[in-house]
Structure formats: C-alpha cells, structure tokens
Amino acid sequence: MRVIVRTVSELCVTVGSVIVLFVVYVLFWTGVRADGVMDDQIDLLRKEWSKPRPPAGASPAGPVKPAPYAEGRPFAIMYIPRLGFTWNKPVLEGTATGTLKKGLGHYTETAELGQRGNFAVAGHRRTYGDPFKDFPELRRGDAVVLTDGTTWFTYRIDKGPYKTVPSDIEVIDPVPRTSGYTRAGRYLTLTTCEPEWGHSHRLIVWAHLDTTQPVEAGKPEALRR
C-alpha cells in the first residue's frame, strides 16, 4: 500500500510539474518568442522600405508602389495609440495559424489597405505576443494608424467592440450589415477572440479611413505625443 501511495504521489507531482511548465510556456515563452518574431517582421519591412527608390517621374512607370501582398509576408505596420504609444504590430497577408503567430493577419478576401471596400485584420487576444489583449478598451473615435512604407493611413473607430460568433462572417463584408455603415466606403475591420482565454465568440471593431499622408510628411497627428 505504501508503494502504491508513493507511486501515485510521485505521478501527481510529475503531472503537476508538467502542467506548470505548460502554463509557463503558454503565458510567457510563446509571448517572448512572438515578440521577437514580430520585431523581426517589422525590421524586415523597414529594411525593405529604406532601400533607395527612384524619384517620381524618373521613369514612365512613375513612383514606386508597395509590393503586392504575398501570403505569409508582412506588408504594413499598425499602430493603435489607445493600446500604448509603443504598441506597433506587423500586418501580414493571410490568417493561417502560422501567420498569426508572427503578427496580425489580413483577410485575403477583403480590400487592400486604404482602398475602397473593407480592409479586415485579425489578431490573437492571448498567446503569441497578446497583440489584442486590451482590445475591449478600444472606443469610438480612437485612431488606428497604418503605413505601407509610402503612405500613412489614419482610420477612426466608429463602432465596437461588438460581440458576435465565429460563424458571423458578414462582419468583414465590404459594407458589414451590423457596422452601422449604409454605403460603400474605405473601411477597416479588426477581429479577435472572446473571451480573453477562449474562442467561443469574436470581438469586432469597425473604422473608416479618416486621413492619408505621404511618409515624407512625417508622422500623422495621431502618433505625435
């Protein structure tokens, strides 16, 4: 009996240790790794953007345009002052599991950044850097700023966080039915999981494109302290 009790006790300690290590991995290590990966994605973009470009009008093609979106590759950086003036995340093409471990993901079926339609982006609420951990704090009027290396795009939130179910794919329609918008425009949709450590629901925020300016003009007002 003593041997049985000792064995069971040792198994309980082992299982408990494994659980603790797993929690540490989920809460801490995945975040550390994700932060490093996201920083690498941003560095990749900035290096690409820093390459010399021919002046506008130097060739019949005119100014250099941002490269086409490539699956799993970064193409923009997002800033949300409400989440902190140091908050910035890379936006990659696609919403595959591996892609969302590197940053935010653009729904490929939605409009491109700044274009007419609905530019929709997803991000983890928890784990892998917790990019949208404080998503519920977003409010109407908050700025969401993005750049593709040539232009600053400032969106202003109109509605959200709005709670819905994962099957509600209409939230990323060109004119989302529950957004309050009634006609075509240049919109932004952000999506993340709800509750904080679950995925039974989704939180949604909708915004409209407010202003644009070339990067040469400096940071937009929303990012100036």
141, 219 Cβ separation under 8 angstroms:
no
Position 210, amino acid: D
Choosing from 106, 124, 125, 186, the catalytic residue is 124
Query: Both tokens of residue 178?
Result: 């529950």
- Does the annotation count 201 as an active-site position? no
- Does the annotation count 193 as an active-site position? yes
Choosing from 2, 82, 193, 201, the catalytic residue is 193
User: What is the phi-psi region of residue 48: left when phi exceeds 0, alpha when psi lies from -120 to 50, beta otherwise?
Assistant: alpha
192, 135 Cβ separation under 8 angstroms:
yes
Query: Both tokens of residue 28?
Result: 């801490």
Rounded distance, CA 16 to CA 220, Å?
51
- Does the annotation count 12 as an active-site position? no
Cα 171–Cα 177–Cα 181 angle in degrees, nearest 5: 105
Rounded distance, CA 135 to CA 110, Å?
21
> Catalytic residue numbers?
124, 193, 202
